[in-house]
Amino acid sequence: MSKEQPDPFFIEGYITGLGLTPQTVLPSVWIPELFAEEVPEDELELKSLMEYYNLCMDRVMQGDFSLPKECDLTKLHLENALQRGMPLPNYCSGMLSSLNFIKQIELNIEQYNQLDKLQSVLSGFQGYLNATKTFSSDKQDFATTVISAYQDLELCISKTAYELRFSEHCLSKADEASTLPGFNRKQIESHLNEILSQNNSSTLKLIDDLITVIERELITKHFIEQYADELENLSEVQPYLILKARKAQIHFNLEHYDLAQKELEELLQLAPNDYYENRYQLYSCYIKKRKWSSLTALLNKYSCHLFSENKLIDSATKLLNEYAQHGSNPETKALKEKVIALFPDLVSICGQGIKQMGGDKPNSVTEYINKGGLTAWCSVEGSLFWLKSKN
């Protein structure tokens, strides 16, 4: 790629250009290209880059293609502003680089012409010499032509985004793909479910890629702010919530408790009514990390579920939380009697196996174990022995 890669204006142009591509370019593809295969190893740097990517995608979805103010171009400083390494040439070079991901052979004539027009204008702003070749005109002086082209640049980018991503042609093409004879939705969903059921780094990468696509195409920061009060009830959002919950579960199963906690806390912010009961896994994260105050606060937030029928996990977590902080005393013993009276099967987590409770569905104890309940009890010394003891 270009030597300007580390330049912030190159990066902004590059990432904004990614927002114009008809198909999502995955981070595993565009990040190595941006850094000429020398991908930063610093996780914080990569995290910041992805946060900036999401911010730029949000702006694209809002139709905001304004250039950085440092890229401003005037007649007075025209030649200097178009020198190599200046903000505007770097920004345009970055956008041109990411536009190379577009497969032009798949574009219709309107899309091809609009993309070609944008690439020509961007190329003209890569340097002063380029500008003299691209914007020379017999009808008006050179400087006036360049300034006019610069003033139209934002609109040109916007038109390209529309033609490549948001036009009626794009939407109808997407609909047609799902109705093709070879498109077997059930088969695809079955295959996807089979992959997502595995607990490994490959599955995490697949989920991250799917989440990236969804955040680019729909669940942007602006979308979340706009529909905050009804977000968890929108049908369009459900796959996103399910993927993030599965991501958290895999992190937990791989003992990445900090990452699981972060994902689950974000989920409960997005969906505070917790229809998918993500709090259960978060309970276990807090116990593994010994974050008792956080656990207590979360239990209090959902206290309406304590000692309720079919809500074993809330009550069992309340019991473990009290024992972990206060040990065996009259209060915790009384609480244990109450919880076991309501949910006698809870004691079975102390044994070797968990029996199924009728039908094909696992009982609440099995669900508890799947959400990290047994892992949580095992992490508190003496808790399982105390749970099954008669004292």
In tens, the pLDDT along 156-184 reads 999 999 999 888 877 666 555 444 455 45
State residue 177's pLDDT score.
45
Distant-in-sequence, close-in-space partners of 315: CB < 8 Å, separation ≥ 6: 306, 307, 308, 339, 342, 343
State residue 283's pLDDT score.
97
- Left (φ > 0), alpha (ψ -120 to 50) or beta: where does 103 sit? beta
State residue 189's pLDDT score.
57
Residues of the chain with pLDDT under 70: 1-6, 37, 137-140, 171-193, 195, 352-362
Per the CB < 8 A criterion, the answer to whether 160 and 171 are in contact is no
- Integer CA distances (angstroms), 205 to 16, 27, 266, in order: 23, 10, 19
Distant-in-sequence, close-in-space partners of 7: CB < 8 Å, separation ≥ 6: 85, 90, 94
State residue 359's pLDDT score.
38
Per the CB < 8 A criterion, the answer to whether 153 and 67 are in contact is yes
DSSP at 24 = P
State residue 216's pLDDT score.
86
pTM here?
Answer: 0.71
State residue 8's pLDDT score.
93
Distant-in-sequence, close-in-space partners of 244: CB < 8 Å, separation ≥ 6: 211, 263, 266, 267
